[in-house]
Amino acid sequence: MKKYFKIIIVSLMLCMFFSTVAFAEEDDITVRVRIKGRTFNEQAELDGYENITIYDTSSVIPKKIYQTDDELSILMDTYYDQFYNELSSITYAKIGPYHVKLSNKYFNSFEEAQNEINKLISTIPTLGSGFYPYFNGQDYQICYGAFVDSNSALTFVNTLKENGIESTELQTQKQSVLVYDGQNNIVFMYKNNYNIAFTSFNSDLGSEMIKIDSKPYRGMMAFNIINNADLISINKVDVESYLYGVVPCESPSSWPLDALKAQTLAARTYAVANLKRYNLYGYDLNDDVSSQVYGGFLSEKNSTNIAVETTKGEMIYYNGKLIDAVFHSTSGGSTENSENVWQYEIPYLRGVDDTYSNISPRTVWQKIYTKDQLIARLRLYDYDVNEIYDVKITKVTENNRAYECIFYTDKGEITIYKDLIRSVLGVDSLWLTVKNNTEGNDSFYFASLKTTEFASRSNDSIDITTTVTDGLTNKYIISNKGKTQITGNNVAFISSSGITNKDITTVNSNQYVIDGRGWGHSLGMSQYGAKQMATEGFKYDEIIKHYYTGVTIQ
């Protein structure tokens, strides 16, 4: 099929390290793999190192179904043009999701169905070679073709009937997966499920591997149609081989070995503790930061492979149970308690001193927003505001993180808490301060005759409560002496710092400066902290026990 493609199918990927015989189910993990920039979700290309073998993985010991070419194309069953580009309608379709299924013929294996096909073709050669086995999830049947509409399928039903063969129409649009060989022939079709997988043997490494869209993975590749729309690829791989592709993506391979070992334990524990997290879609974890970054075989490095091998099977426990071993890049100086970031108090996710992580280039950062940019960010989170008067961090945790943030807007006060603050502000961490870009740290406010809310009264000056966007000229002070028009911009204000003379022309409340420390959610192990601890001579178990309170390693 590849030679007919006018599109370039960007990388997807999957595989699994699978000793040619079998793996215990608990030793395997399934990872949804995606390539950044991939355009097409309805098809993928598989390349084997030798012939590709198709397995039924529904049992603990995978069952070999069929061995075929070293080049296969996997397509979701839907409409395509002559170049195998997916179409939204049948107008220009040359390939479609209508098939003809032989009646009352059920087989226990792919091989039995294929033998029946060979017998059929030899008996009635005029029928051609468009037959292929179809697995419905329980039995194997025989199907023919990929017709674009019902009439075309029924025409072939009548042709078969004339030859004494009973058949029916089968329509499986976006409910089945088609497997094409290198000559563009359908060699297999199976109903959408999680149990069919593909792999080949890499004799150089002595293990099962496969390339998906040119990217190699250990283990096996499986496919599943989700949301009646997307064909996703799922790498089925044993946990240790999975870690070969995770650790170098999460920590640089040049870091000290004990830092890499600590990363390995955290990654292994996180993976096993989160098995079946996305079970609804047929896999355990994603290959990105929503789970752990996983790059497959190409990401592997010798040093990180050593870290995996020398800690094989070791994981982190609290009171005899696996922990949720979350980690982050840079704490900024201390980690945080789980309940101050997420919802629940978790006993092993306690804030600890972490000056080790201050070697990180992300220890200190700054972000500047205009008022319009902040309004846009609020709207991303469905806050329908048109004006922002101020932003204040009103509660801070004992470990220096923002706990409560209030946006003062034309729609009233909007209060957000914990990690949502980081999301709404679009910043690296919760260790932050927000201020107007003024000469000092205090925000100053005023009232004008056009407003209905006035500042609090005093004898000669006011306690300010609304943001200045320009000078004070033509604004008014209301006090017990009455209303007084301001003729200049240098005015004394009462603020939290006392009485201050301010030249209001220097105030730019259209700009907000966010200063912060750290990168990530700040819970569990700091990766840069682990690096520095290892550099100073700490062993990986000491690093783990520093960042996860009260844990054991088994």
Is residue 371 located within the same domain as residue 352? no
The pLDDT tens digits of the residues spanning 288-342 come to: 999 999 999 999 999 999 999 999 999 999 999 999 999 999 999 999 999 999 9
Q: How many domains does the chain have?
A: 3
Q: What is the 3-state secondary structure (H, E, C) of 323-348?
A: CCCCEECECCCECCCHHHCCCCCCCC
Could you give the CA distance from residue 195 to residue 177 in angstroms, rounded to a whole number? 12
Could you give the CA distance from residue 272 to residue 24 in angstroms, rounded to a whole number? 14
Which residue range(s) make up the domain with 59?
2-233
Is residue 12 located within the same domain as residue 116? yes
The reported pLDDT for the residue numbered 259 is 98
The reported pLDDT for the residue numbered 510 is 85
Closest to 336 measured CA to CA, from 547, 540, 28 = 547
Query: Of all helices (H) and strands (E), which one includes residue 383?
Result: none
Residue 257 belongs to some domain of the structure: no
Is residue 380 located within the same domain as residue 339? no
* Domain finish residue from 215, 233, 251: 233
Confidence check: pLDDT of 481 > 50: yes
Residue 106 belongs to some domain of the structure: yes
- Say if strands 52-56 and 196-202 run parallel, antiparallel, or are unpaired: antiparallel
Q: What percentage of the chain reaches a pLDDT higher than 70? A: 81
Confidence check: pLDDT of 444 > 50: no
Query: Of all helices (H) and strands (E), which one includes residue 377?
Result: helix 371-380
Range with the poorest average pLDDT among 2-6, 235-239, 266-270, 388-392? 2-6
Confidence check: pLDDT of 92 > 80: yes
Confidence check: pLDDT of 96 > 50: yes
Confidence check: pLDDT of 14 > 50: no
The reported pLDDT for the residue numbered 491 is 55
Could you give the CA distance from residue 265 to residue 553 in angstroms, rounded to a whole number? 9
Is residue 107 located within the same domain as residue 213? yes
Residue 264 belongs to some domain of the structure: no
The reported pLDDT for the residue numbered 9 is 29
Is residue 59 located within the same domain as residue 194? yes
Is residue 165 located within the same domain as residue 221? yes
Residue 432 belongs to some domain of the structure: yes
* Domain finish residue from 233, 249, 271: 233
Span 54-78, average pLDDT: 92
Is residue 408 located within the same domain as residue 536? no
Residue 280 belongs to some domain of the structure: no
Is residue 371 located within the same domain as residue 358? no
Confidence check: pLDDT of 499 > 50: yes
The reported pLDDT for the residue numbered 449 is 33
The pLDDT tens digits of the residues spanning 168-203 come to: 999 999 999 999 999 999 999 999 977 999 999 999
Could you give the CA distance from residue 316 to residue 319 in angstroms, rounded to a whole number? 10
The reported pLDDT for the residue numbered 484 is 62
Residue 538 belongs to some domain of the structure: yes
The reported pLDDT for the residue numbered 36 is 54
| Residue that has been written with the tokens 């107008």 in this structure | 91
Is residue 184 located within the same domain as residue 125? yes
Is residue 403 located within the same domain as residue 532? no
Residue 404 belongs to some domain of the structure: yes
| Burial class of residue 406 (count of CB atoms within 10 Å of its CB; 0-12, 13-18, 19+) | middle
Confidence check: pLDDT of 24 > 80: no
This model's pTM is above 0.85: no
Region class of 174: left (phi > 0), else alpha (psi between -120 and 50), else beta: left
Confidence check: pLDDT of 465 > 50: no
Is residue 168 located within the same domain as residue 221? yes
The reported pLDDT for the residue numbered 393 is 97
The reported pLDDT for the residue numbered 332 is 97
Q: Is the CB of residue 512 less than 8 Å from the CB of residue 287?
A: no
Residue 502 belongs to some domain of the structure: no
Give every CB contact of residue 399 below 8 A, 6+ residues apart in sequence.
334, 335, 336, 337, 340, 351, 522
The pLDDT tens digits of the residues spanning 348-376 come to: 999 999 999 999 999 999 999 999 999 99
- What one-character DSSP code corresponds to residue 7? S
Which one is predicted more confidently, 77 or 495? Answer: 77
Is residue 337 located within the same domain as residue 368? no
